[in-house]
Amino acid sequence: MGIFGKPKLATLLGRPLRCLVCGGREFWSREVKLNSTGAEFLGLSWANQSAVGLICDACGYVHEFAGPRPELWKPERGYPGGAE
Ligand SMILES: [Zn+2]
């Protein structure tokens, strides 16, 4: 998955995001289309457009976000505001 440069650090609601599986800090992002069945299952009919998927660079686990968008940051510059 090296087509679009480098994986990025991510924060959600101002908090650094770590991979749920391996604890990795760098992710690739992609848009994910939600189908209506999935949105209704999650009680998120308002979110029946798209979500953001963050794919762990280390293990490949896909984290999906249908609410607030995660923010992405360049790894070499670190998290904003000194978050860790
Ligand atoms: Zn991972």
pLDDT in tens, the chain (84 residues): 445 578 999 999 999 999 999 999 999 998 877 665 655 666 655 555 678 999 999 999 999 998 888 999 999 989 987 666
Residue 37: what pLDDT? Answer: 60
Q: How far is the CA of 22 from the centre of ligand 1 (A)?
A: 4
Choosing among 1.10.10, 2.30.30, 2.20.25, 1.10.3470, the CATH entry for 8-67 is 2.20.25
pTM confidence score:
0.74
Q: How far is the CA of 21 from the centre of ligand 1 (A)?
A: 5
Residue 31: what pLDDT? Answer: 82
Domain ranges of the chain: 8-67
Q: How far is the CA of 70 from the centre of ligand 1 (A)?
A: 16
Q: How far is the CA of 37 from the centre of ligand 1 (A)?
A: 27
Spatial CB neighbours of 27, under 8 Å, sequence gap ≥ 6: 7, 8, 9, 10, 17, 19, 54, 55, 56, 57, 63, 72
